[in-house]
Amino acid sequence: MNFTDHEIEAEADRLLRALMNVECDDRRTWNLETCRELAPLTLDIQRLKREKGAIILAHSYVEPEIIYGVADFKGDSYFLSLQAKKAKAPMIVFAGVVFMAETAKILCPEATVVVPDHGSGCSLADSITAEHLRGLKALYPDAAVVCYINSTAAVKAECDVCVTSGNVYDIICRLPQRRVLFVPDRLMAENIRTELKRRGVDKEILSSDGTCMVHEEFTPAQIAEARTRFPGLKVVSHPECTADVAAASDFVGSTGAMMKYVRSTQAPYFLMLTECGLVGRLEVENPEKSFVGGCRLCPYMKLNSLEKIRDVLAAPRAHQIVTLDEELRRRAARCLERMFELAPSD
C-alpha cells in the first residue's frame, strides 16, 4: 500500500515523539530517519487492523515501535488477560509469547487469536508438561494446584487456580489448603515462601524446577556494584529473580507494579532487573527519571516485529493461529476464572 509523503511525515513525527526518549535500546538510534523508515509499516498495520477489526495486545517487553506504534493495549500479563476477556474484536494479534496468546484464546474463544512468531516460547512455560504435572499431583493429592500464568493451556487445564506476578501472594493467601503445589517457577516459589513468612501466613509451597532464563541471570553482585557506582540508587526486580536478588532489591513486583513504583518514587537512579522492553517503556513514560544499564533481552519476546505483525494480519498462516481443544480450553478457563475471582481489585 502506498501512502502520501504527508501521511508518512506525520506518522514519522508521531513515532519520533513517542520513541525519542528510549535510550536502553543500544541496537538502534531513534531519529526522524529511522522513524520515516518505520512509518509505512505502522500505517499499513493500522489500515489492516481497521479492515480486519483486529486489536493488538502487546506485552511491555516487546520492541518499543510495537508498543507505541501499533498496540491497542500494552501492559503486564494480568492486564492483557483482562483485555482479552473483555475483547469484542473478531481478531486479536498477541505481540508477546505463545502462552499469553493461548491465554487470550482461552478467555476469548470466539476471536481468531494469532501470534506474529509461533516460535515465541518461554523457558518457564516450556519447563513442564501436563503429564509431568499430573505425576506431581498424584504425589501431593491434598495440595492446591496453582500455576503461574507463564504455563501452557494444557498445564492450566490441570490446575485449580492461575496466578500472575501481580496477584500471586494475595491469591495463595486466600486458598483454604495449607499445602500448595506451585508450578513451574522454582525461583518465584522461593520468593512466595519469603513473602508468606513476612505476612505470617503458614503454608507449605512445593514447586517444579522451571526458571526464567532472563531473570535467573541477575545477581546480588551486580546490585552491589551498581549501588557503589550510583549513590541513592533504587533497585527494582521481578519475582522471577532469585531470592538473593529479591532480598537485595528495594522493590519486587510484576512489570505493572514495577512501573507504578518508579512513577511514584523519587530517586536519582533506578536499576531495573528485568527485560529491557520495560525499561524502554519507563524511559518514554518517565522522561525525567534516570535508568542505569543492567536489563536483559528475552529472545522470545524479541521475535516479535512490525513486519511479522503486518504479515500475520494480512494473511495468518496455520501455525500462527492459536487453536485449542474445546474441552481442554474449558478446563483452562476455569483455572483463569478462579484467578479473576480471587485477585484483589486494584
Binding to ligand 13P in span 269-298, by CB under 6 A: none
CA separation for the pair 147, 130 (Å, rounded) = 11
Q: Does residue number 297 form part of the binding site for ligand SF4 (CB under 6 A)? A: no
Sole binder of ligand 13P in the list 240, 277, 306, 313 (CB under 6 A): 240
CB-nearer residue toward ligand 13P: 42 or 237: 237
Q: How far is the CB of 154 from ligand 13P (least distance, A)?
A: 18
Residues binding ligand 13P: number (CB under 6 A): 10
Evaluated on CA atoms 340, 332, 181, 95, the torsion sign reads negative
* Helix (H/G/I), strand (E/B), else coil: 342: helix
Binding to ligand SF4 in span 248-277, by CB under 6 A: 275
Asked if 228 and 208 count as a contact pair (C-beta separation under 8 A), the reply is no
Sole binder of ligand SF4 in the list 38, 45, 262, 301 (CB under 6 A): 301
CB-nearer residue toward ligand SF4: 117 or 240: 240
Binding to ligand 13P in span 153-182, by CB under 6 A: 164-165
CB-nearer residue toward ligand 13P: 87 or 252: 252
Of 280, 307, 268, 305, which Cα lies nearest the Cα of 20?
Answer: 280
300 binds, among ligand SF4, ligand 13P, none (CB under 5 to 8 A by kind): ligand SF4
**Sequence-ordered alpha helix ranges (H) in 145-242:** 153-156, 168-174, 186-199, 220-229
Cα three-residue angle 290-20-77, rounded to 5 degrees:
70
CA separation for the pair 59, 71 (Å, rounded) = 9
Residues binding ligand SF4: number (CB under 6 A): 13
Q: Does residue number 120 form part of the binding site for ligand 13P (CB under 6 A)? A: no
Q: Does residue number 249 form part of the binding site for ligand 13P (CB under 6 A)? A: no
Q: How far is the CB of 240 from ligand 13P (least distance, A)?
A: 5
Binding to ligand 13P in span 32-91, by CB under 6 A: 76-77
Show the cell assigned to 194. 519469603
CB-nearer residue toward ligand SF4: 8 or 183: 183
Show the cell assigned to 168. 500471586
CA separation for the pair 238, 254 (Å, rounded) = 6
77 binds, among ligand 13P, ligand SF4, none (CB under 5 to 8 A by kind): ligand 13P
Q: E strands within 184-336?
A: 204-207, 234-237, 251-252, 270-273, 291-292
Q: Does residue number 189 form part of the binding site for ligand SF4 (CB under 6 A)? A: no
* Helix (H/G/I), strand (E/B), else coil: 68: helix
Binding to ligand SF4 in span 99-128, by CB under 6 A: 122-124
CB burial string 279-299: b at 16+ within 10 A, e below? bbbbbbeeeebebbebbeebe
CB-nearer residue toward ligand SF4: 158 or 240: 240
Binding interface with ligand 13P (CB under 6 A) = 76-77, 150, 164-165, 212, 238, 240, 254-255
Binding interface with ligand SF4 (CB under 6 A) = 97, 122-124, 150, 212-214, 240, 275, 298, 300-301
